Structure 1
């Protein structure tokens, strides 16, 4: 399969996996605090990646380690906690929708900070996608007035981290295989994650019961598929496509997340469905070659 076809396969699979991650975080929060959900997600993924990718670390050159570290913090460490806190206060589907700011931020940061060129058509497509996102957010806020929408800032902050992460990988780690980047990311944040668990009293206060057992189950599924495997696939997608295309997955994620949200009792209006169609049109225009 050629790269032009394969990149679309990766995009669809990632949208399904990451779109399901929000409901998994929501379920995990039923028995654990946001900080512990974020930390255990990272720690579980780290163990898995070290087991399958430890030998790939030798491919990381000395001068590349600092960029792997920046990528780890901005693309994994901080977002894991920020999204957990966001979903503790707003619907999981809304949090996924706010993540759609990532392609816009990627384009702007890529142009202003990393010197990447972009076409007017790409900007036009992203703006259309953002218009659809704004409709979704506005309607969500109208339907759920009692939710803490200050927490909605956290996914937007995460999207800035994702945007820097994608551009860092594209510019400085393009010659490094995806498994090495992903494994390096998690190896570097194992100690900070353990410190978070220690400082928040996890090891001294954690109680293993039916509720926490269920939460841990959701975290394991989230870590293996939504973090470990998906991260490797995403880094591969960045290599075979552009930063803007790879982050377009964040336009498709809300569609999957909203479906899960409906199944879990969250509300969705016809207007939000139409906004989803607008988002898909934006994705198409942002990635159309001519």
Structure 2
């Protein structure tokens, strides 16, 4: 089996993990662990794992001028990103949340245009408009009759904030990713992220009744910490080392598909015409945005 095939398998596994994570994390929140408390568990776990992995990586000194950039990247890539995602997911449904996450490439384009003056062509502008129309539809009218969705509109908006925050993180961290070893960078991102999440999560974490928690919920929490927070990152890194970025980026389209199939199988969500219509608009917008990037790279 060649390295390209292994890379495709690794990225595929990461995509499946991301897809099922929506439902697995949703089963924990907010009944057993409230969202901010869950994020604190996730960040503490991931920080510990990556700092241990850092012991096996060649030491690399962080330049003083880069600490501010890492702090900012951590705020948007770990703090605001994760807090808004888990809070939003606790209020909405897995399918809506997974669809909203696909708007990340659109937000990357918008922030790239604002921060680094990257030109936007007509096709990209059309893609942004179509994608944002779908996003607004899903936020405003994508409410669900599912009992686990206590406030779908607000939840969908928070997941969109998460996607926008992650898009901004990608733009901010671009130079850092090229400059430092991935493990070295991510262990600092999570450490600073821990500082941001502790004030929000410590009270909710203190409220958790661990003795009353079913064994399956412990497994769900472990899945989110080990697989979603750490393993997917390492698998995607391996994929990026062997595949073109455009090839890896295509897998983002599969996340809502996997999330939808899994959610429907376990009965944690349902489909509606609004969800389907908004999804098609968002997918069309992202396709127009990313297609031009791929064409121009040829």
TM-score range, shorter chain: 0.7 to 0.9
Name the SS of the counterpart of 1:209 in structure 2: helix
Provide the rounded CA distance (Å) in 2 between the counterparts of 1:286 and 1:8.
23
Where in structure 2 are the equivalents of 1:268-287 lying within 5 Å?
268-269=271-272, 272=275, 283-287=286-290
What residue in structure 2 maps to residue 169 of structure 1?
Answer: 173
CA contact (8 A) 1:28 1:214 kept: no
What residue in structure 1 maps to residue 82 of structure 2?
Answer: 80
What residue in structure 2 maps to residue 59 of structure 1?
Answer: 60
1:151 aligns with 2:155: yes
- Measure how far apart 1:173 and its partner are: 3.4
1:208 aligns with 2:186: no
Provide the rounded CA distance (Å) in 1 between the counterparts of 2:110 and 2:38.
31
CA contact (8 A) 2:105 2:167 kept: yes
Q: For the structure 1 residues 10 and 95, does the alpha-carbon distance in structure 2 shift closer, same or farther, using more than 3 Å as the test? A: same
TM-score under structure 2 length normalisation: 0.77
- Measure how far apart 1:106 and its partner are: 0.8
Provide the rounded CA distance (Å) in 2 between the counterparts of 1:228 and 1:176.
18
Q: Deviations over 1:230-282 (max 9, x none)?
A: 2345567788766x987665543222211222123211247755765665555
Provide the rounded CA distance (Å) in 2 between the counterparts of 1:270 and 1:259.
16
Provide the rounded CA distance (Å) in 1 between the counterparts of 2:28 and 2:42.
10
What residue in structure 1 maps to residue 46 of structure 2?
Answer: 45
RMSD of aligned Cα (Å): 3.7
Structure 1: give runs of 5+ residues left out of the alignment: none
Provide the rounded CA distance (Å) in 2 between the counterparts of 1:123 and 1:248.
20
- Measure how far apart 1:154 and its partner are: 0.8
Residue range with higher mean Cα deviation, 211-220 or 267-276: 267-276
Q: For the structure 1 residues 44 and 234, does the alpha-carbon distance in structure 2 shift closer, same or farther, using more than 3 Å as the test? A: same
TM-score under structure 1 length normalisation: 0.79
Residue range with higher mean Cα deviation, 208-217 or 178-187: 208-217
How many residue pairs align between the two structures?
Answer: 286
Q: 1:222 aligned to 224, 227, 234, which one?
A: 224
What residue in structure 2 maps to residue 178 of structure 1?
Answer: 182
CA contact (8 A) 1:111 1:117 kept: yes
Provide the rounded CA distance (Å) in 1 between the counterparts of 2:9 and 2:108.
21
1:17 aligns with 2:17: yes
Name the SS of the counterpart of 1:32 in structure 2: coil
